[in-house]
Amino acid sequence: MIKAVIFDMDGTLIDSERLGAAAWLQAADELGLEFSQDVSRGFIGRTLPDVLATLADLYGSEEDGERLWRRHREIREEMAKTDLELKAGASECIDALAAAGYHIGLATSSRHATAEGNLRRFGLFDKFETVTCGEDVEHGKPDPEMYLLACERAGADPAECAVVEDSRNGCVAGIAAGCHVFAVPDLMPLPQEVVDGCEAVLETLFDLPAAISSLG
């Protein structure tokens, strides 16, 4: 029986991955650094320390990696002021699941200040009973640590929790934690081996309440 529904944020509730991908490319171009979309796609679901470590390896320099990350963040924050949007069905599905009595949790690799700022913009932040962010864990997605902690904070076993994700890294983390994973893919299609580990792959979040209730 599902007791808690734990949502990822970026690419799942808000359309931020698209902005992030554009910001990485613009920042790299401004700084004269080589960069590709494949690199930024690998960052989806990862914590800041993981991202910085990858950039340091890529450029052989922590300084260059940090410069790129800081400029990317500045560009992304400017974009978010005018271009950030909710994913279809985000508010409606949260309201429906809360009304049905499920615990509503958040598990995002973004830092708490970023998550709160983005979700308050759409009136969503206070709908979450528990919040787990990137700075709360040592190992980011696809490691299961974030979802194991989110389940603990929700007061439920992983087998009693549904995880809602968009990315490969996030889905793998939820599956490894022992949760029931529902995927709503965003920028990239999921590999078949990940699809096989999910309870369902949905078109939009509007489909989520019925999918979760079908588990009992």
Residues near 48 by Cβ (< 8 Å), separated by ≥ 6? Answer: 69, 109, 111, 134, 135
Residue 157 falls in the annotated catalytic set:
no
Same domain, 122 and 204: yes
Tens of pLDDT, residues 28-37: 999 999 999 8
Tens of pLDDT, residues 134-161: 999 999 999 999 999 999 999 999 999 9
Same domain, 188 and 144: yes
pLDDT at 43 over 90: no
Per DSSP, helices labelled H in 5-61 are 17-31, 37-42, 48-59
CA distance 104 to 91: 12
pLDDT at 76 over 90: no
Report the pLDDT averaged over residues 104-119. 95
Task: Please identify, among 83, 112, 141, the residue that sits at the C-terminal boundary of a domain.
Answer: 83
**Given the residues 10, 50, 143, 186, the one annotated as active site:** 10
pLDDT at 211: 97
Please list, residue by residue across 166-191, b when 16 or more beta carbons sit within 10 angstroms of its beta carbon and e when fewer do.
bbbbbbbbbbbbbbbbbbbbbbeebe
pLDDT at 187: 79
The domain that contains 169 carries what CATH number?
3.40.50.1000
pLDDT, averaged across the chain? 94
The rounded Cα 78 to chain-centroid distance in angstroms is: 20
Q: Return the SS3 of 131.
A: strand
Same domain, 181 and 112: yes
pLDDT at 210 over 80: yes
Residue 50 pLDDT level (bands cut at 50, 70, 90): confident
Report the pLDDT averaged over residues 85-98. 97
The token pair that represents 187 in the structure block:
């920028």
Same domain, 156 and 205: yes
CA distance 6 to 179: 10
CA distance 139 to 47: 8
Same domain, 27 and 123: no
pLDDT at 40: 86
Task: Please identify, among 28, 56, 83, the residue that sits at the C-terminal boundary of a domain.
Answer: 83
pLDDT at 177: 98
pLDDT at 198: 98
Which H/E stretch holds residue 99?
helix 90-99
Residue 8 falls in the annotated catalytic set:
yes
| Domain containing residue 73 | 17-83
pLDDT at 204 over 80: yes
Same domain, 45 and 121: no
Same domain, 41 and 104: no
CA distance 202 to 79: 28
pLDDT at 89: 97
Q: Give percent above pLDDT 70 in the chain.
A: 100
pTM of the model: 0.87
Q: Return the SS3 of 140.
A: coil
Same domain, 128 and 148: yes
Same domain, 62 and 89: no
Report the domain count for the chain: 2
Same domain, 135 and 161: yes
Q: What is the DSSP letter of 190?
A: P
Task: Please identify, among 48, 83, 118, the residue that sits at the C-terminal boundary of a domain.
Answer: 83
Which H/E stretch holds residue 120?
helix 112-121
Same domain, 67 and 91: no
Q: Which residue has the higher pLDDT, 40 or 190?
A: 190
Same domain, 135 and 29: no
